[in-house]
Structure 1
Amino acid sequence: MRRTIARWRDVAWVLAPFGLVLLGGALVYALANYRTVTVMGDSMRPTYRPGDRPLIERIDATEIRRGDVVLIDPPERHMAEPVLRRVIGTGGDHVVGAGNRVTVNGKPLDEPYVTDAYEDLAVGPYDVKVPEGRLFVLGDHRANSNDSRYHLGEQSGSFAAAGVQGRVLENSAAPTVLVTIGSLGIALTLLGIGGYVAKRRARRSLPSAAPWPGLEEG
């Protein structure tokens, strides 16, 4: 019995701290790299509607790819708050648009996320080369989106890549891993605490050792 109690004690002292390290690490990483935002406008319909809360993954400028939906700082003169927009072209790309048809470097874009039946008559054709370190971005709801098409006179309508605060995470693999690690940390912590409590209770319930009988002197 005493040997069993000792084993419980050893397990408790190992599992609880290890579980706390896993849980703390998962929380710190998640808080540093992920956040949610609330969609306020219609510019990204039907992909994201008002009230949706997409998960944003922090990235740097070198990780941005065409087709990404990013949370980006717009030109300050036109919009004050960060906006969700889809990256159409990156530095050096040749972007040509007419109505809802867009080509990048001579290749038509396949855009199943654009469902506008009518083109935005307020925007004429455009033909631009994206400056290095900049992004040409559009909203999915082309008929109602304040995007690069409306600022063509300023660096070809591009937004600064350095203004990207994060990318909408469509693949849930990374958060799932973090949740799994955090859950494992909780389980190990509780198991360790449970082992410590069980050890304490078992020690209290052990009968006291009977004294050795005295030896009679002859």
Structure 2
Amino acid sequence: MRAVFRVLGAMGLVLAVGALWYVVSGHTTATVAGESMRPTYTPGERVLLERVEPGEVRRGDVVLHASPEWYGGLPAVRRVIGVGGDRIAQRPGEPVTLNGKPLAEPYVKDGDPSGTGTPEYDVTVPEGRLFLLGDHRANSNDSRYFLTDRSGTVPEDEVRARALDDRSGLVAAGLTALLGLVLVGGALATEIAGRRRLPVG
């Protein structure tokens, strides 16, 4: 019986270490510094993010990026509005258009997709680059204000991670780690109990 529990304990250790490695290596957090992502995220809020590879980012993703030309290279959280090949346009007081069609943006602050002082723009996103906007359009320094530099876009490989809305993977990893620890604990308890029952000569 002790041999069985030893095997289960070893399996539990593998499960626990593997689950913890998945969480630590594949995820990170960032603290929102300003007002640019209200109401989705507020200043001081910590955002859970998953690390992504270039090419995995999609329209609508909220990403953590760090561009040397923007904000002195400091990381910032913004929403992806356009990817390579997309045509993004907007006139002051009007909604953003994506490939000629108005973009539904239920996440913008006060339902205002334009914001005060938004410049008029009409750009095509180069391949391998992203057009980024904050959700608080009246208070976000984003692609609209870097239009002279490659149409205000940033390279995909400057994205470090994206916000994790679906946390089911993390929950599953946590439960797996817990199961592993239970198996390890059971194996240790069985081993200790077995040694206590050994006859003393």
Partner of 2:55: 62
Is 1:188 aligned to 2:188, yes or no?
no
Matched, 1:163 2:158: yes
Query: Are 1:128 and 2:123 matched, yes or no?
Result: yes
* Equivalent AA in structure 2 for residue 154 of structure 1: D
Q: How far has the Cα of 1:65 moved from its partner?
A: 0.5
Residue 121 of structure 1 deviates from its aligned partner by 3.5
Which position in structure 2 is the counterpart of 1:3? none
- 1:15 and 1:98 map into 2 onto residues whose CA distance is 64
Larger-Rg structure? 1
Aligned positions of 1:10-89 closer than 5 A: 10-76=3-69, 78-89=71-82
Identify which range, 9-18 or 189-198, moves more after superposition.
9-18
> Is the contact made by 2:128 and 2:155 (CA closer than 8 Å) also made in structure 1?
yes
2:104 maps to 110
The alpha carbon displacement at 1:160 in A equals 1.0
More deviation, 86-95/50-59: 50-59
Q: Distance in 2 between matches of 1:132 and 1:124?
A: 23
Unmatched runs of 5 consecutive residues or more in structure 1: 1-6, 209-218
- How many residue pairs get aligned? The number is 199
Q: Which residue of 1 aligns with 2:142?
A: 147
Q: Percent identity?
A: 47
CA distance in 1, matches of 2:15, 2:135: 39
Q: Secondary structure at the match of 1:79?
A: helix
Contact 2:59 2:80 in 1 (8 A): yes
Output the amino acid matched with 1:128. V
Tell me which moved more, 115-124 or 105-114.
115-124
Mind listing any 5+ residue stretches in structure 2 that lack a counterpart? Answer: none
Instruction: Compute the TM-score of the two structures, normalised by the length of structure 1.
Output: 0.86
* Residues 9, 185 of structure 2: 8 Å contact kept: yes
